[in-house]
Structure 1
Amino acid sequence: MSLVWAGLRIAAVEALKGRTEAGNEVLDSEIGAIEPRADGTVDIGIERRYVAVYTQAGDVEADSLDPRALLEGGTVELLFEAGVTATMLVRDEQTGEQQIFEGIPSTDANFELYLDLIFRQVTNALLDPDNEWAEIWRSFVLRVVKVERFRIADAQNVRLAGRQMKVICQVVGDPLQGQQLDSAGALSMFLARLEASDDEQNRNRAALLRAAIGAPGQPDWRSAQPAQGMTGNEFAALGLQPPVTDDGNGLVEVTELVAETDLVTVEVTP
Protein backbone atom coordinates (compact mmCIF):
# COMPACT_ATOMS: atom_id res chain seq x y z
CA MET A 1 0.00 0.00 0.00
CA SER A 2 1.03 3.65 -0.22
CA LEU A 3 0.19 7.09 1.07
CA VAL A 4 -1.35 7.97 -2.28
CA TRP A 5 -3.62 4.90 -2.10
CA ALA A 6 -4.83 6.05 1.31
CA GLY A 7 -5.40 9.57 0.04
CA LEU A 8 -7.25 8.37 -3.05
CA ARG A 9 -9.64 6.22 -1.02
CA ILE A 10 -10.27 8.66 1.84
CA ALA A 11 -10.82 11.58 -0.57
CA ALA A 12 -13.38 9.48 -2.47
CA VAL A 13 -15.20 8.58 0.77
CA GLU A 14 -15.37 12.21 1.89
CA ALA A 15 -16.38 13.40 -1.60
CA LEU A 16 -19.41 11.06 -1.59
CA LYS A 17 -20.79 11.86 1.87
CA GLY A 18 -24.18 13.51 1.56
CA ARG A 19 -23.99 13.37 -2.23
CA THR A 20 -25.93 10.14 -2.88
CA GLU A 21 -29.11 8.44 -1.70
CA ALA A 22 -26.93 6.67 0.89
CA GLY A 23 -26.50 10.01 2.71
CA ASN A 24 -23.54 9.86 5.09
CA GLU A 25 -23.45 6.04 5.04
CA VAL A 26 -20.24 6.02 2.98
CA LEU A 27 -17.99 3.35 4.45
CA ASP A 28 -14.20 3.28 4.27
CA SER A 29 -12.85 -0.20 3.49
CA GLU A 30 -15.71 -2.15 5.05
CA ILE A 31 -15.31 -4.94 2.53
CA GLY A 32 -17.75 -7.31 4.26
CA ALA A 33 -20.90 -5.30 3.57
CA ILE A 34 -21.76 -7.75 0.79
CA GLU A 35 -19.59 -10.81 1.42
CA PRO A 36 -19.67 -13.80 -0.98
CA ARG A 37 -19.51 -17.22 0.74
CA ALA A 38 -17.76 -20.34 -0.57
CA ASP A 39 -21.10 -21.97 -1.42
CA GLY A 40 -22.13 -19.08 -3.65
CA THR A 41 -24.53 -17.42 -1.20
CA VAL A 42 -24.04 -13.89 0.03
CA ASP A 43 -23.86 -12.64 3.60
CA ILE A 44 -25.49 -9.25 4.20
CA GLY A 45 -23.39 -7.65 6.89
CA ILE A 46 -25.32 -4.39 7.06
CA GLU A 47 -29.01 -3.49 6.97
CA ARG A 48 -29.12 -0.02 5.50
CA ARG A 49 -28.48 1.69 2.21
CA TYR A 50 -24.80 2.33 1.87
CA VAL A 51 -21.82 2.95 -0.38
CA ALA A 52 -18.49 1.33 0.51
CA VAL A 53 -15.15 2.39 -0.95
CA TYR A 54 -11.89 0.49 -0.82
CA THR A 55 -8.66 -0.05 -2.70
CA GLN A 56 -8.32 -3.61 -3.89
CA ALA A 57 -5.12 -4.08 -5.90
CA GLY A 58 -2.50 -2.19 -7.84
CA ASP A 59 0.27 -2.57 -10.35
CA VAL A 60 3.50 -0.70 -11.08
CA GLU A 61 5.63 -1.34 -14.15
CA ALA A 62 9.01 0.35 -13.75
CA ASP A 63 10.83 1.24 -16.95
CA SER A 64 14.50 0.57 -17.65
CA LEU A 65 15.51 3.92 -16.12
CA ASP A 66 13.96 3.11 -12.74
CA PRO A 67 14.81 -0.55 -12.13
CA ARG A 68 14.27 -0.35 -8.37
CA ALA A 69 11.60 2.35 -8.16
CA LEU A 70 9.28 1.56 -5.28
CA LEU A 71 7.43 4.86 -5.04
CA GLU A 72 5.88 5.05 -8.51
CA GLY A 73 2.10 5.40 -8.46
CA GLY A 74 1.19 2.92 -11.18
CA THR A 75 -2.43 1.79 -11.40
CA VAL A 76 -4.83 1.25 -8.50
CA GLU A 77 -8.18 -0.57 -8.41
CA LEU A 78 -10.64 1.61 -6.50
CA LEU A 79 -13.84 -0.28 -5.74
CA PHE A 80 -17.23 1.33 -5.07
CA GLU A 81 -19.90 -0.99 -3.68
CA ALA A 82 -23.60 -0.34 -3.07
CA GLY A 83 -26.57 -2.50 -2.26
CA VAL A 84 -30.20 -2.65 -1.16
CA THR A 85 -32.15 -5.60 0.26
CA ALA A 86 -35.71 -6.16 1.44
CA THR A 87 -34.50 -5.65 5.03
CA MET A 88 -33.18 -2.19 4.14
CA LEU A 89 -36.56 -0.86 2.95
CA VAL A 90 -38.42 1.98 4.65
CA ARG A 91 -42.19 2.02 5.22
CA ASP A 92 -44.32 4.97 4.14
CA GLU A 93 -46.17 6.03 7.31
CA GLN A 94 -49.18 7.27 5.34
CA THR A 95 -49.71 4.36 2.92
CA GLY A 96 -47.94 1.55 4.78
CA GLU A 97 -46.12 0.56 1.58
CA GLN A 98 -42.44 -0.32 1.62
CA GLN A 99 -40.17 1.92 -0.41
CA ILE A 100 -36.51 1.93 -1.33
CA PHE A 101 -36.52 5.67 -0.80
CA GLU A 102 -39.20 8.32 -1.00
CA GLY A 103 -41.33 7.95 -4.12
CA ILE A 104 -39.82 4.66 -5.35
CA PRO A 105 -41.88 1.56 -4.39
CA SER A 106 -40.20 -1.74 -3.57
CA THR A 107 -40.00 -3.92 -6.67
CA ASP A 108 -37.15 -5.88 -8.20
CA ALA A 109 -36.95 -3.48 -11.14
CA ASN A 110 -36.73 -0.51 -8.82
CA PHE A 111 -33.93 -2.14 -6.83
CA GLU A 112 -31.90 -1.97 -10.01
CA LEU A 113 -33.10 1.57 -10.65
CA TYR A 114 -31.81 2.53 -7.22
CA LEU A 115 -28.37 1.15 -8.06
CA ASP A 116 -28.33 2.86 -11.46
CA LEU A 117 -29.17 6.11 -9.71
CA ILE A 118 -26.68 5.80 -6.88
CA PHE A 119 -23.74 4.96 -9.15
CA ARG A 120 -24.59 7.93 -11.34
CA GLN A 121 -24.58 10.04 -8.17
CA VAL A 122 -21.14 8.63 -7.32
CA THR A 123 -19.89 9.73 -10.74
CA ASN A 124 -21.51 13.15 -10.41
CA ALA A 125 -19.90 13.69 -7.00
CA LEU A 126 -16.40 12.76 -8.19
CA LEU A 127 -16.68 15.11 -11.18
CA ASP A 128 -18.26 18.04 -9.30
CA PRO A 129 -15.95 21.08 -9.66
CA ASP A 130 -17.43 22.59 -6.48
CA ASN A 131 -16.73 19.50 -4.36
CA GLU A 132 -13.44 20.19 -2.56
CA TRP A 133 -12.80 16.54 -1.69
CA ALA A 134 -13.53 15.49 -5.28
CA GLU A 135 -11.00 18.07 -6.47
CA ILE A 136 -8.39 16.42 -4.24
CA TRP A 137 -9.42 12.98 -5.55
CA ARG A 138 -8.99 14.15 -9.15
CA SER A 139 -5.56 15.55 -8.27
CA PHE A 140 -4.40 12.06 -7.28
CA VAL A 141 -5.66 10.54 -10.56
CA LEU A 142 -3.56 11.03 -13.69
CA ARG A 143 -6.12 9.18 -15.79
CA VAL A 144 -8.89 6.62 -15.51
CA VAL A 145 -7.66 3.51 -17.31
CA LYS A 146 -10.78 1.36 -17.10
CA VAL A 147 -14.20 1.11 -15.43
CA GLU A 148 -15.78 -2.28 -14.70
CA ARG A 149 -19.21 -3.03 -13.18
CA PHE A 150 -20.39 -6.19 -11.42
CA ARG A 151 -23.82 -7.32 -10.21
CA ILE A 152 -24.90 -9.48 -7.23
CA ALA A 153 -28.55 -10.54 -6.82
CA ASP A 154 -31.01 -13.12 -5.40
CA ALA A 155 -28.93 -14.64 -2.64
CA GLN A 156 -29.63 -16.35 0.67
CA ASN A 157 -33.42 -16.19 0.18
CA VAL A 158 -33.23 -12.41 0.57
CA ARG A 159 -34.23 -10.02 -2.15
CA LEU A 160 -30.96 -8.32 -2.88
CA ALA A 161 -29.65 -5.94 -5.48
CA GLY A 162 -25.97 -5.25 -5.11
CA ARG A 163 -23.44 -3.79 -7.48
CA GLN A 164 -19.77 -2.96 -7.56
CA MET A 165 -17.97 -0.47 -9.77
CA LYS A 166 -14.23 -0.88 -10.16
CA VAL A 167 -12.39 2.25 -11.30
CA ILE A 168 -8.83 1.45 -12.38
CA CYS A 169 -6.80 4.65 -12.04
CA GLN A 170 -3.27 5.66 -12.90
CA VAL A 171 -2.15 7.72 -9.92
CA VAL A 172 0.69 9.99 -8.88
CA GLY A 173 3.65 8.52 -7.01
CA ASP A 174 4.48 8.68 -3.31
CA PRO A 175 6.97 11.28 -2.05
CA LEU A 176 10.43 10.36 -0.82
CA GLN A 177 10.97 10.30 2.90
CA GLY A 178 11.94 13.79 4.01
CA GLN A 179 10.82 15.36 0.73
CA GLN A 180 9.35 18.85 0.83
CA LEU A 181 5.78 18.55 -0.49
CA ASP A 182 4.59 20.89 -3.21
CA SER A 183 1.86 23.04 -1.63
CA ALA A 184 -0.21 22.70 -4.81
CA GLY A 185 0.31 18.94 -5.02
CA ALA A 186 -2.39 16.33 -4.38
CA LEU A 187 -0.88 14.90 -1.20
CA SER A 188 -0.20 18.31 0.32
CA MET A 189 -3.78 19.48 -0.36
CA PHE A 190 -5.12 16.21 1.04
CA LEU A 191 -3.15 16.46 4.30
CA ALA A 192 -4.09 20.11 4.77
CA ARG A 193 -7.77 19.25 4.30
CA LEU A 194 -7.54 16.39 6.81
CA GLU A 195 -5.88 18.67 9.36
CA ALA A 196 -8.64 21.26 8.93
CA SER A 197 -11.38 18.66 9.39
CA ASP A 198 -13.81 18.72 12.32
CA ASP A 199 -13.42 14.93 12.51
CA GLU A 200 -10.76 13.95 15.04
CA GLN A 201 -10.13 10.69 13.17
CA ASN A 202 -9.16 12.66 10.06
CA ARG A 203 -6.77 14.86 12.05
CA ASN A 204 -5.15 11.76 13.54
CA ARG A 205 -4.80 10.27 10.07
CA ALA A 206 -3.01 13.41 8.89
CA ALA A 207 -0.51 13.17 11.77
CA LEU A 208 0.25 9.53 10.96
CA LEU A 209 0.73 10.22 7.25
CA ARG A 210 3.00 13.21 7.86
CA ALA A 211 5.09 11.11 10.24
CA ALA A 212 5.50 8.50 7.49
CA ILE A 213 6.79 11.18 5.10
CA GLY A 214 9.12 12.66 7.69
CA ALA A 215 10.37 16.19 8.18
CA PRO A 216 11.96 17.90 5.16
CA GLY A 217 15.44 19.35 5.21
CA GLN A 218 17.86 16.79 3.79
CA PRO A 219 20.07 17.97 0.87
CA ASP A 220 19.04 17.18 -2.71
CA TRP A 221 21.94 14.78 -3.26
CA ARG A 222 20.78 12.68 -0.29
CA SER A 223 17.37 12.19 -1.95
CA ALA A 224 18.87 11.07 -5.25
CA GLN A 225 19.93 7.61 -4.06
CA PRO A 226 16.55 6.40 -2.72
CA ALA A 227 14.78 8.09 -5.63
CA GLN A 228 16.56 5.73 -8.04
CA GLY A 229 16.90 2.80 -5.66
CA MET A 230 20.68 2.76 -6.15
CA THR A 231 23.16 0.93 -3.97
CA GLY A 232 25.80 2.93 -2.14
CA ASN A 233 28.51 1.79 -4.55
CA GLU A 234 26.44 2.74 -7.60
CA PHE A 235 25.72 6.15 -6.12
CA ALA A 236 29.38 6.82 -5.33
CA ALA A 237 30.57 5.56 -8.73
CA LEU A 238 28.35 8.09 -10.49
CA GLY A 239 29.96 10.89 -8.49
CA LEU A 240 26.65 11.99 -7.01
CA GLN A 241 27.86 11.94 -3.41
CA PRO A 242 30.10 14.66 -1.97
CA PRO A 243 33.72 13.57 -1.36
CA VAL A 244 34.66 11.99 1.95
CA THR A 245 36.84 13.91 4.40
CA ASP A 246 40.49 12.90 4.82
CA ASP A 247 39.76 10.99 8.04
CA GLY A 248 36.90 9.13 6.35
CA ASN A 249 34.45 10.06 9.07
CA GLY A 250 32.36 12.62 7.19
CA LEU A 251 31.53 14.30 3.90
CA VAL A 252 33.13 17.44 2.51
CA GLU A 253 30.68 20.33 2.27
CA VAL A 254 30.91 21.62 -1.31
CA THR A 255 30.42 25.38 -1.51
CA GLU A 256 31.98 26.06 -4.92
CA LEU A 257 32.86 24.07 -8.05
CA VAL A 258 35.42 25.26 -10.63
CA ALA A 259 35.56 23.71 -14.10
CA GLU A 260 38.56 24.71 -16.24
CA THR A 261 38.97 24.13 -19.97
CA ASP A 262 41.28 25.55 -22.63
CA LEU A 263 38.59 28.05 -23.55
CA VAL A 264 36.91 29.16 -20.36
CA THR A 265 36.80 28.76 -16.60
CA VAL A 266 33.37 28.30 -15.05
CA GLU A 267 32.63 28.76 -11.36
CA VAL A 268 29.45 27.21 -9.97
CA THR A 269 28.04 27.76 -6.49
CA PRO A 270 25.76 24.84 -5.47
Structure 2
Amino acid sequence: MSLVRQLIQIALVEAWRGRTLAGEFVYDSKIDPLAGFLAGQPAPILIASVEEAEQAEDGQATRGVMGRPASLTIMVQTGVATGREIRDENGVIVLGAIGESDASYEAMLNLLDFQWRCALHDPDNSWAVLFRSLVTSIGTIKDVRATDPETGSKHAARFTQFKAEVLPDPMPGDTLPDAIEAGLTALEADGDPGFALIAASWRLMLEGSPDRPDWRILQSGLFTTDAGMAALGQIPAAIDTPADVELSMPGAKPVVISHDP
Protein backbone atom coordinates (compact mmCIF):
# COMPACT_ATOMS: atom_id res chain seq x y z
CA MET A 1 0.00 0.00 0.00
CA SER A 2 2.34 2.73 -1.21
CA LEU A 3 1.31 4.81 -4.22
CA VAL A 4 -2.24 5.55 -3.06
CA ARG A 5 -0.94 6.44 0.40
CA GLN A 6 1.62 8.80 -1.16
CA LEU A 7 -1.04 10.54 -3.25
CA ILE A 8 -3.41 10.77 -0.26
CA GLN A 9 -0.81 12.51 1.91
CA ILE A 10 0.16 14.99 -0.79
CA ALA A 11 -3.46 15.70 -1.71
CA LEU A 12 -4.34 16.49 1.91
CA VAL A 13 -1.49 18.94 2.39
CA GLU A 14 -2.06 20.71 -0.93
CA ALA A 15 -5.84 20.83 -0.43
CA TRP A 16 -5.34 22.72 2.83
CA ARG A 17 -2.44 24.97 1.86
CA GLY A 18 -3.57 28.61 1.88
CA ARG A 19 -7.19 27.67 2.58
CA THR A 20 -7.28 27.72 6.39
CA LEU A 21 -6.03 29.84 9.28
CA ALA A 22 -2.81 27.83 9.05
CA GLY A 23 -1.98 29.51 5.73
CA GLU A 24 1.19 27.93 4.36
CA PHE A 25 2.00 26.18 7.65
CA VAL A 26 0.70 22.80 6.50
CA TYR A 27 2.96 19.79 6.84
CA ASP A 28 3.21 16.18 5.73
CA SER A 29 4.02 13.79 8.59
CA LYS A 30 6.05 16.23 10.70
CA ILE A 31 7.62 14.24 13.53
CA ASP A 32 9.16 16.96 15.71
CA PRO A 33 8.02 16.96 19.38
CA LEU A 34 4.79 18.94 19.46
CA ALA A 35 5.61 21.15 22.45
CA GLY A 36 8.94 22.29 21.03
CA PHE A 37 7.51 22.74 17.58
CA LEU A 38 4.65 24.94 18.77
CA ALA A 39 7.02 27.10 20.81
CA GLY A 40 8.62 28.49 17.65
CA GLN A 41 5.56 28.43 15.43
CA PRO A 42 4.21 31.87 14.37
CA ALA A 43 0.80 30.66 13.20
CA PRO A 44 -1.71 27.83 13.59
CA ILE A 45 -0.56 24.59 11.99
CA LEU A 46 -1.99 21.57 10.22
CA ILE A 47 -0.16 18.25 9.94
CA ALA A 48 -1.39 15.27 7.90
CA SER A 49 -0.10 11.72 8.23
CA VAL A 50 -1.17 8.16 7.48
CA GLU A 51 -0.67 6.17 10.67
CA GLU A 52 -1.90 2.70 9.71
CA ALA A 53 -3.03 0.67 6.72
CA GLU A 54 -5.06 -2.52 6.80
CA GLN A 55 -5.89 -4.81 3.87
CA ALA A 56 -8.67 -7.29 4.64
CA GLU A 57 -8.46 -11.02 3.92
CA ASP A 58 -11.48 -10.97 1.65
CA GLY A 59 -10.08 -8.30 -0.64
CA GLN A 60 -8.91 -8.86 -4.18
CA ALA A 61 -5.89 -11.14 -4.68
CA THR A 62 -6.32 -12.49 -1.15
CA ARG A 63 -3.19 -14.65 -1.25
CA GLY A 64 -0.97 -11.81 -2.42
CA VAL A 65 0.45 -8.68 -0.89
CA MET A 66 -0.57 -6.28 -3.70
CA GLY A 67 -3.75 -5.24 -5.46
CA ARG A 68 -6.12 -5.17 -2.49
CA PRO A 69 -8.35 -2.30 -1.39
CA ALA A 70 -7.13 -0.89 1.91
CA SER A 71 -8.32 0.98 4.95
CA LEU A 72 -6.05 3.83 6.02
CA THR A 73 -5.98 5.48 9.42
CA ILE A 74 -5.39 9.17 8.73
CA MET A 75 -4.25 11.57 11.45
CA VAL A 76 -4.84 15.33 11.29
CA GLN A 77 -2.99 17.39 13.89
CA THR A 78 -4.05 20.97 14.53
CA GLY A 79 -2.17 23.31 16.82
CA VAL A 80 -2.23 26.96 17.89
CA ALA A 81 0.77 28.82 19.29
CA THR A 82 -0.10 32.48 18.65
CA GLY A 83 -3.06 34.52 17.57
CA ARG A 84 -4.01 35.66 14.12
CA GLU A 85 -6.41 38.41 13.12
CA ILE A 86 -9.57 37.38 11.34
CA ARG A 87 -11.43 40.21 9.59
CA ASP A 88 -14.81 40.26 7.95
CA GLU A 89 -15.45 41.62 4.45
CA ASN A 90 -15.51 45.18 5.79
CA GLY A 91 -12.12 44.85 7.46
CA VAL A 92 -13.53 44.68 10.97
CA ILE A 93 -11.58 42.41 13.31
CA VAL A 94 -13.83 39.53 14.32
CA LEU A 95 -11.21 37.63 16.32
CA GLY A 96 -7.99 39.46 17.08
CA ALA A 97 -4.67 38.28 18.42
CA ILE A 98 -5.94 35.79 20.93
CA GLY A 99 -4.94 35.89 24.55
CA GLU A 100 -3.43 33.16 26.66
CA SER A 101 -6.76 31.78 27.79
CA ASP A 102 -7.92 28.23 27.19
CA ALA A 103 -11.18 29.53 25.73
CA SER A 104 -9.50 31.60 23.03
CA TYR A 105 -7.17 28.77 22.01
CA GLU A 106 -10.15 26.43 21.86
CA ALA A 107 -12.00 28.89 19.62
CA MET A 108 -9.07 28.97 17.20
CA LEU A 109 -8.79 25.17 17.17
CA ASN A 110 -12.50 24.83 16.44
CA LEU A 111 -12.25 27.27 13.55
CA LEU A 112 -9.26 25.42 12.13
CA ASP A 113 -11.01 22.07 12.50
CA PHE A 114 -14.03 23.35 10.60
CA GLN A 115 -11.88 24.86 7.85
CA TRP A 116 -9.85 21.74 7.01
CA ARG A 117 -13.03 19.70 6.76
CA CYS A 118 -14.65 22.29 4.49
CA ALA A 119 -11.56 22.33 2.28
CA LEU A 120 -11.87 18.59 1.63
CA HIS A 121 -15.50 19.05 0.55
CA ASP A 122 -14.75 21.98 -1.78
CA PRO A 123 -15.76 21.05 -5.38
CA ASP A 124 -13.43 23.73 -6.79
CA ASN A 125 -10.33 22.53 -4.93
CA SER A 126 -8.54 20.20 -7.37
CA TRP A 127 -6.42 18.55 -4.67
CA ALA A 128 -9.52 17.89 -2.59
CA VAL A 129 -11.18 16.38 -5.67
CA LEU A 130 -8.15 14.09 -6.04
CA PHE A 131 -8.41 13.06 -2.38
CA ARG A 132 -12.10 12.24 -2.77
CA SER A 133 -11.46 10.25 -5.96
CA LEU A 134 -8.94 8.04 -4.14
CA VAL A 135 -11.23 7.48 -1.14
CA THR A 136 -14.30 5.27 -1.43
CA SER A 137 -15.70 5.96 2.06
CA ILE A 138 -14.89 7.63 5.38
CA GLY A 139 -15.46 5.68 8.59
CA THR A 140 -15.33 6.61 12.27
CA ILE A 141 -13.88 10.04 13.10
CA LYS A 142 -12.40 10.66 16.55
CA ASP A 143 -10.47 13.59 17.95
CA VAL A 144 -8.61 14.07 21.23
CA ARG A 145 -6.71 16.91 22.84
CA ALA A 146 -2.93 16.69 22.88
CA THR A 147 -1.41 16.32 26.34
CA ASP A 148 2.14 16.13 27.63
CA PRO A 149 2.71 12.47 28.64
CA GLU A 150 5.16 13.50 31.39
CA THR A 151 3.37 16.41 33.05
CA GLY A 152 -0.21 15.82 31.94
CA SER A 153 -0.53 19.46 30.88
CA LYS A 154 -2.76 20.16 27.90
CA HIS A 155 -1.51 21.69 24.67
CA ALA A 156 -3.49 23.97 22.38
CA ALA A 157 -3.62 21.16 19.86
CA ARG A 158 -5.92 18.36 18.79
CA PHE A 159 -5.44 15.02 17.04
CA THR A 160 -8.24 13.97 14.71
CA GLN A 161 -8.16 10.41 13.43
CA PHE A 162 -10.40 8.80 10.85
CA LYS A 163 -10.63 5.67 8.73
CA ALA A 164 -10.63 5.99 4.95
CA GLU A 165 -11.34 3.12 2.56
CA VAL A 166 -9.16 3.72 -0.49
CA LEU A 167 -8.46 2.32 -3.94
CA PRO A 168 -5.95 -0.53 -4.32
CA ASP A 169 -2.51 0.13 -5.70
CA PRO A 170 -2.18 -0.91 -9.37
CA MET A 171 0.04 -3.82 -10.33
CA PRO A 172 3.03 -3.14 -12.62
CA GLY A 173 1.83 -3.17 -16.21
CA ASP A 174 -1.80 -2.41 -15.29
CA THR A 175 -3.72 0.38 -16.97
CA LEU A 176 -3.79 3.07 -14.30
CA PRO A 177 -7.20 3.89 -12.79
CA ASP A 178 -8.40 7.40 -13.64
CA ALA A 179 -7.88 8.68 -10.09
CA ILE A 180 -4.28 7.48 -9.91
CA GLU A 181 -3.46 8.78 -13.39
CA ALA A 182 -4.95 12.13 -12.36
CA GLY A 183 -2.80 12.14 -9.22
CA LEU A 184 0.45 11.52 -11.09
CA THR A 185 -0.51 14.12 -13.70
CA ALA A 186 -1.20 16.65 -10.93
CA LEU A 187 2.26 16.05 -9.46
CA GLU A 188 3.86 16.54 -12.87
CA ALA A 189 1.91 19.73 -13.56
CA ASP A 190 2.49 21.35 -10.15
CA GLY A 191 5.94 22.70 -11.00
CA ASP A 192 7.55 21.38 -7.81
CA PRO A 193 10.73 19.43 -8.77
CA GLY A 194 10.17 17.09 -5.83
CA PHE A 195 6.67 16.23 -7.03
CA ALA A 196 7.95 15.68 -10.57
CA LEU A 197 10.59 13.25 -9.27
CA ILE A 198 7.99 11.33 -7.25
CA ALA A 199 5.72 11.01 -10.30
CA ALA A 200 8.58 9.92 -12.57
CA SER A 201 9.72 7.29 -10.07
CA TRP A 202 6.24 5.81 -9.78
CA ARG A 203 5.65 5.76 -13.52
CA LEU A 204 8.93 3.90 -13.98
CA MET A 205 7.99 1.29 -11.37
CA LEU A 206 4.51 0.82 -12.82
CA GLU A 207 5.61 0.26 -16.41
CA GLY A 208 6.00 -3.49 -16.03
CA SER A 209 7.81 -5.65 -18.58
CA PRO A 210 6.58 -5.06 -22.16
CA ASP A 211 7.74 -8.48 -23.34
CA ARG A 212 6.05 -10.43 -20.55
CA PRO A 213 3.29 -12.70 -21.94
CA ASP A 214 -0.30 -12.29 -20.75
CA TRP A 215 -0.29 -15.52 -18.77
CA ARG A 216 2.71 -14.34 -16.77
CA ILE A 217 0.93 -11.07 -15.98
CA LEU A 218 -2.08 -13.09 -14.83
CA GLN A 219 0.19 -15.29 -12.72
CA SER A 220 1.61 -12.23 -10.98
CA GLY A 221 -1.87 -10.93 -10.22
CA LEU A 222 -3.00 -14.31 -8.87
CA PHE A 223 0.15 -14.64 -6.73
CA THR A 224 0.62 -18.25 -7.77
CA THR A 225 3.27 -20.62 -9.14
CA ASP A 226 3.71 -22.34 -12.50
CA ALA A 227 2.06 -25.40 -10.97
CA GLY A 228 -0.89 -23.28 -9.93
CA MET A 229 -1.21 -21.82 -13.41
CA ALA A 230 -1.01 -25.32 -14.92
CA ALA A 231 -3.85 -26.44 -12.65
CA LEU A 232 -5.89 -23.54 -13.99
CA GLY A 233 -5.02 -24.50 -17.56
CA GLN A 234 -3.29 -21.18 -18.11
CA ILE A 235 0.22 -22.33 -19.07
CA PRO A 236 0.65 -22.67 -22.85
CA ALA A 237 1.64 -26.13 -24.04
CA ALA A 238 5.33 -26.59 -24.82
CA ILE A 239 5.92 -26.16 -28.53
CA ASP A 240 8.49 -28.57 -29.98
CA THR A 241 9.54 -28.94 -33.62
CA PRO A 242 6.30 -29.92 -35.39
CA ALA A 243 6.16 -33.42 -36.85
CA ASP A 244 4.35 -34.48 -40.00
CA VAL A 245 1.03 -36.17 -39.27
CA GLU A 246 -0.52 -38.85 -41.47
CA LEU A 247 -4.29 -39.00 -41.37
CA SER A 248 -5.68 -42.34 -42.52
CA MET A 249 -9.37 -42.97 -43.10
CA PRO A 250 -10.93 -46.25 -44.32
CA GLY A 251 -11.68 -46.12 -48.08
CA ALA A 252 -9.68 -42.93 -48.62
CA LYS A 253 -6.15 -42.12 -49.66
CA PRO A 254 -3.83 -41.26 -46.76
CA VAL A 255 -3.44 -37.50 -46.16
CA VAL A 256 -0.14 -36.13 -44.88
CA ILE A 257 -0.34 -32.90 -42.87
CA SER A 258 3.00 -31.14 -42.71
CA HIS A 259 4.15 -28.12 -40.74
CA ASP A 260 4.01 -25.16 -43.07
CA PRO A 261 5.52 -22.00 -41.61
TM score, norm. by length of structure 1: 0.76
Partner of 1:118: 112
Q: Please, what TM-score do these two structures have when normalized by structure 2?
A: 0.78
In 1, Cα distance between equivalents of 2:26 and 2:53: 22
- For residue 148 of structure 1, the aligned residue among 142, 151, 164 is 142
* Equivalent position of 2:203 in the other structure: 210
Paired with 1:167 and 1:52, the residues of 2 have a C-alpha distance of 14
Note if contact 2:145-2:155 (Cα within 8 Å) is conserved in structure 1. no
DSSP 3-state at the match of 1:149: strand
Return the alpha-carbon distance in structure 2 between the equivalents of residues 219 and 151 of structure 1.
Answer: 55
Worse-matched range after superposition: 188-197 or 102-111: 102-111
Match of 1:261 in 2: none
Equivalent position of 1:78 in the other structure = 74
State the alpha-carbon separation in 1 of the partners of residues 173 and 75 from structure 2.
31
How does 1:56-75 map onto structure 2 within 5 Å?
56-63=51-58, 66-71=61-66, 72-75=68-71
Structure 2 residue ranges without an equivalent (≥5): 86-92, 242-261
Query: Does the 8 Å CA contact 1:150/1:164 hold for their aligned counterparts?
Result: yes
What residue in structure 1 maps to residue 26 of structure 2?
Answer: 26
Query: 2:228 matched to 1:225?
Result: no
Summarize the alignment of residues 4-15 of structure 1 with structure 2, pairs less than 5 Å apart.
4-15=4-15
Which has more radius of gyration? 2
User: Conserved in 2, the CA contact under 8 Å of 1:179 and 1:216?
Assistant: no
Partner residue in 2 for 1:51? 46
Q: What displacement does 1:129 show?
A: 0.7
CA distance in 2, matches of 1:165, 1:11: 17
- Shift of the 102–33 alpha-carbon distance from structure 1 to 2, 3 Å rule, reads farther
3-state DSSP of counterpart to 2:187 = helix
Structure 1 residues 196 and 57, CA gap change in structure 2 (3 angstroms): same
Task: Give ranges in structure 1 of 5+ residues lacking alignment.
Answer: 35-41, 92-98, 248-270
Q: Structure 1 residue 233: deviation in Å?
A: 1.1
The amino acid of 2:187's aligned partner reads L
* Conservation of the 8 A alpha-carbon contact between 2:69 and 2:165: yes
Partner of 1:254: none
For residue 174 of structure 1, report the CA deviation from its aligned partner.
0.5
- Percent identity, please: 31
Cα distance, 1:232 vs structure 2? 2.0
